Structure 1
Amino acid sequence: MHPYNGALMLNGPIPPHVDPRKLVEREVTLEGVLPLASMPRVCEQLTSSEGNVRAKFSFFRDEQKLSVMHVEVDAQVSMVCQRCLEPATFRVVGESDFAILWEGKSAEGLPKGYDALEVGEEPLDLPPLVEDELLLALPIVPAHDPEKCQHPAGFAAAPEPSENVEERPNPFSVLAQLKRDPNV
C-alpha cells in the first residue's frame, strides 16, 4: 500500500496526454480501460487483439518528497500455449513505480524499486506506458497448466523435471578423497 491518500479519483477513459506536475500536486488517481487493439507491440505477441487493459495511474509525493507515478495494469490476453500450441487465455498483471524526473535531472540516488521517468514541457503520453507495462508482464513462455493440455502428437518433448532427480556424483569428490589420503 502506498502512503498517499488519493485526494482525487477519476474513472473513465485514460486521457492520452497529462501534465504529471499537476497530477502529483493534486494527488490524482486515474483509472480506466484501453483496448488491446490500440497496442500493436503487445498484439504481435497475442493470438487475438480482442479485449481491454484496465490501467490505473496514481500520482503522489512519497516520504522523500519525490514525485511518483504508480502504474498498474490488468488484462486477459490470448497467446499460443507453448506446450499444446493452441490458443490459451492468460490473466496478466503488472505494476511499477516511476520517479518523475524533470528534464536534465539525474536519476542517481533514486530509491530502490523506482524506475526513472524523465519528463519535460511536453505532456506525458499514458497509453505507451500502459503498453510497455503490459509487454513486461506478458509470460515469457505461455503455457496452460500441465493437467489442461498435452504436447501435440509426434512431438518429442523434453522430459518434465522430476522431483526425485537422482544425485550425480560430484567430479571433485575424487580430489577430496585424494587430499584426505596421507599415502598420496
Structure 2
Amino acid sequence: MLNGPIPPHVDPRKLVEREATLEGELPLVKMPRVCEQLTSSEGNVRAKFSFFRDEQKLAVMHVNLDAEVSMVCQRCLEPATFHVGGEYDFAIIQEGKTVEGLPKGYDALEVGEEPLDLVSLVEDELLLALPIVPVHDPEECQHPAGFAAAPEPSESEEERPNPFSVLAQLKRDPNV
C-alpha cells in the first residue's frame, strides 16, 4: 500500500498487475470545476484507489472518496456543510474496445496510451455526488431576513365562494 500524496497521473494496468492500493488526500483547490460550486475551496478529499483483478479476471479499480464541502443553502442562503463521496468500481478496458458484457455495477474506464488523470477522475465523481439543491435540515434552517414564510391556512377561515361559479352555471344553462 502506498500512502501519502496520490500521484496525479498513473498507469492503471501496471497498478492492477501489482495489486496496488493508493491512499491519501487530494486538495479541493486542485479541482476548479468542483470549487465553482462551493463557498470555500479549503479542505481535502480522502481517496483510496485499489487496483486488482476480479473473479472474471477483469482489471478493476475500486475508488472510495470522502469529503466535506461547503455550499450555499438554497433555503436560508447561508453556508452549509455537506458530506459527499461514495464507492465506485471501474472496469479498466483498452481504449476503443467494446464495453458490452461488463458485469453489473462496473463503470467502464477506457485507458489508452496516456496515463490516467486521477485528479480529473475524482473531480468528475465529486461533481456527480454534489447535492443538486443544497439545503440544511429543516430544524437547523431559518428563512433569510426579510423573507416571510407563507402563512399556514387556519381551519377557522371560511370558504369564500368561487367568483367563476356563475360562469359554470351559465355554461350548464342551454337557454343562454
Q: TM-score range by the shorter chain?
A: 0.7 to 0.9
Instruction: Return the alpha-carbon distance in structure 2 between the equivalents of residues 111 and 158 of structure 1.
Output: 50
AA partner of residue 22 (structure 1): K
1:152 matched to 2:144: yes
Cα deviation for residue 144 of structure 1 reads 1.0
Cα deviation for residue 158 of structure 1 reads 7.4
1:90 matched to 2:49: no
Equivalence map 1:119-158=2 (5 Å): 119-155=111-147
Aligned with 2:36 (options 35, 44, 65): 44
Greater Rg by CA: 2
1:71 matched to 2:56: no
**Which stretches of structure 1, 4 residues or longer, exceed 4 Å deviation after superposition?**
156-159
State the aligned residue count. Answer: 152
The equivalent of 1:168 in structure 2 is none
The verdict on how the C-alpha distance between 1:153 and 1:99 changes in structure 2, with shifts beyond 3 A counting, is same
Taking structure 2 as the reference length, the TM-score comes to: 0.81
The equivalent of 2:92 in structure 1 is 100
Query: In 2, are the aligned partners of 1:83 and 1:151 still within 8 Å (CA)?
Result: yes
Deviations 1:118-175 (A, max 9, x none): 101111111101111111111111111111112224436579xxxxxxxxxxxxxxxx
Aligned with 1:112 (options 104, 115, 124): 104
AA partner of residue 52 (structure 1): N
Deviations 1:95-134 (A, max 9, x none): 2111100122110111111111110111111110111111
The verdict on how the C-alpha distance between 1:158 and 1:93 changes in structure 2, with shifts beyond 3 A counting, is farther
Gaps spanning 5+ residues in structure 2: where? 152-176
| 3-state SS, counterpart of residue 57 of structure 1 | strand
1:19 matched to 2:11: yes
Instruction: Return the alpha-carbon distance in structure 1 between the equivalents of residues 43 and 86 of structure 2.
Output: 17
Instruction: Return the alpha-carbon distance in structure 2 between the equivalents of residues 74 and 138 of structure 1.
Output: 12
Gaps spanning 5+ residues in structure 1: where? 1-8, 160-184
Deviations 1:21-41 (A, max 9, x none): 111011111011111111000
